[in-house]
Amino acid sequence: GAVVSQHPSWVICKSGTSVKIECRSLDFQATTMFWYRQFPKQSLMLMATSNEGSKATYEQGVEKDKFLINHASLTLSTLTVTSAHPEDSSFYICSAVIPGQNNSPLHFGNGTRLTVT
């Protein structure tokens, strides 16, 4: 149980285009999802907290107009990288928590490798 599916697993796009990454909770409803970014051999940096039915909460230094987050249903959050540039190339990972479970771990998707050429 507690499966999180992330799609696509990798994507290559041209500079200036936009890319959408989907994060789905398959067997539970997730009112809250988290989006992380990870550079090679580095840690995960929290980008934003995605809240179902309301605006996402962005971490300091993350451009909300650059990284659009939509959490329109209890099982889907999307991250859109707008006007992508080569420096946006990274590994993006989403995670979700089962609501109502105090001290419960996060359940992660398998990540999306974004390469901007």
Partner 1 sequence: SQQGEEDPQALSIQEGENATMNCSYKTSINNLQWYRQNSGRGLVHLILIRSNEREKHSGRLRVTLDTSKKSSSLLITASRAADTASYFCATNRIQGAQKLVFGQGTRLTINP
Establish if 54 lies at the interface with partner 1 (CB under 8 A). no
**42 counts as binding partner 1 under rule CB under 8 A:** yes
Residue 88: both structure tokens together? 């946006």
Q: Nearer to partner 1 by C-beta: 16 or 105?
A: 105
Q: Which of 41, 53, 87, 100 binds partner 1 (CB under 8 A)?
A: 41
SS3 of residue 19 by DSSP? strand
Task: List the one residue from 15, 29, 73, 105 that touches partner 1 (CB under 8 A).
Answer: 105
Q: Among residues 111, 30, 116, which one has the least CA distance to residue 66?
A: 116
Quickly tell me which residue has 């041209």 as its tokens.
14
Task: For residue 104, state whether it binds partner 1 (rule: CB under 8 A).
Answer: yes
Asked if 89 is part of the footprint of partner 1 (rule: CB under 8 A), the reply reads no
User: Is there a contact between 56 and 50 (Cβ–Cβ < 8 Å)?
Assistant: yes
User: Which span (63-71, 72-80, 81-89, 97-105) binds partner 1, by CB under 8 A?
Assistant: 97-105
Please tell me the distance from the alpha carbon of residue 37 to that of residue 49, in angstroms, as a whole number: 12
CB-CB contact of 4 with 96 (8 Å): yes
Where does residue 45 fall: left (phi above 0), alpha (psi -120 to 50 degrees), or beta otherwise?
Answer: beta
Which of 6, 25, 50, 77 touches partner 1 by CB under 8 A?
A: 6
Q: Which residues bind partner 1 (CB under 8 A)?
A: 4, 6, 32, 34, 36, 41-44, 46, 49, 91, 93, 95, 97, 102-111, 113
